[in-house]
Structure 1
Amino acid sequence: MGEHSWRAGLLVGGLLICGLTRDTSFFGIIPLMMWCALGRTWWTGAGVGLVLLGLLAWFAVPRNLQWSGPWVPTRVESFWLYAVLSVVVCLIGVLVQRGEGVTWTPWLLAVLVMGFAGAGVLKLGDYEGNAPHDESVLPGPSALQLNEGDVQCGSGHGAKCAREAEATGERAGEVMRAHLTSYGYTSASTTWTGNERLCRTSGLVSVREVCAELKDLSATSLRVRWYVNRA
């Protein structure tokens, strides 16, 4: 039982990470399952397994905590880049314990194919103009009441979609700007209509930028419109 305990611990840890983090695909568990089949010794199995578990946590947790920055992977990267790094880690483990990895090449390639396929589906959705996620704009600060309007989309393939909400409450503009700033939004160039714009970026390799346009309607109300500017 002790010889195989690292496999159980690895799978339980992976399921917990995938299950407890919002918007995380269970694709993340596949490299862990593959390594459970590839691992032969306790030390190599547990060592490589911990690296894979840490890798999964890196690609899942920061994004679900709504952090941003150049070290926070995007959702697209959680497929293709996570697959590439996982395969590299597994291949190193196979070479360490067996001296060759040819036998398991089809399995490693399968993970790569699934990772790039998943990323492709997400990129296609961005191209087709899927509406942005909450992007830390919603649910918004507790001091304000936010009422979301209809999703706005341009016409034709590749047209971007935006979401819009009206925030009401005391010092609505000041409170909403502070809320967005706390989630990594920084001042960007104003729009052609003169509205203030705040943006934040994330991504290790490919940059994803989300922008929020702010328009004060009164001292107690503000309209915020957000969209994916680069993906």
Structure 2
Amino acid sequence: MNRLRTWVFMAAFFGGSVPIVLMAPVMAMFGTGPLRRWVVFWTRYHRFCARWFMGVRVVVSGTIPTTPALYVGKHQAMFETFEMVALLDAPVIVLKKELANIPVWGWAAERYGMIVVDRDGSAAALRTMMRAGQAAAATGRSVVIFPEGTRVKPGEQPELKPGFVGLYRALKLPLVPVAIDSGVVWPKHGLKSPGVIRFAFQEVIPPGVGREEIVARVHAAINVLDVAAT
């Protein structure tokens, strides 16, 4: 049954995504506002397909700030990349460079305002990310980053990449850790399963916290659902 659900979801989502993505350049002709709304529509279509074809529900806990913030999330699946856009109403998301190379989609992502970075963690890449983050924050948009650098399995708690600390310092925005357990039903590889994916927005951390403390607090906060499950 899960195999059938997964096939139906993929057919519905990817089949529907083709015209949506191809329309992105047209929406961009009318400005960044319409393009952002179009991207949010796409992420909500993803949520619709996950709910009705895969039987996946999203449960949100904690408080989402009403003002711009830096959101730092656990990363177990592509699911949260879509869902954070829908939950936060078109934030800027830090993406790996490989995704920006996808024809049409990559162009639309950059026009939307995604921050594209190399995963090599070089000083030049970090500076580029911080400048792009500052430009986004200056327009009043929130920024989302997944500091583990890649998707991890449930229970894995790797050290965080240093880029988020530089972004936190550069933006001078409140930081909101987000614990996510998507990998339980939406694994990196293999069949998806029906169930619940939780997004737990943690206590807001104000700007100005020192490096060691911010790393420790964020690492603990984004892994609270893993800890609760053990």
**TM-score over 0.5 for the alignment?**
no
Category of TM-score, reference length = shorter chain: under 0.3
Higher RCO (CA-CA < 8 Å; seq separation 6+): 2
| TM-score, normalised via structure 2 length | 0.24
* Structure holding more strand per residue: 1
* Structure holding more helix per residue: 2
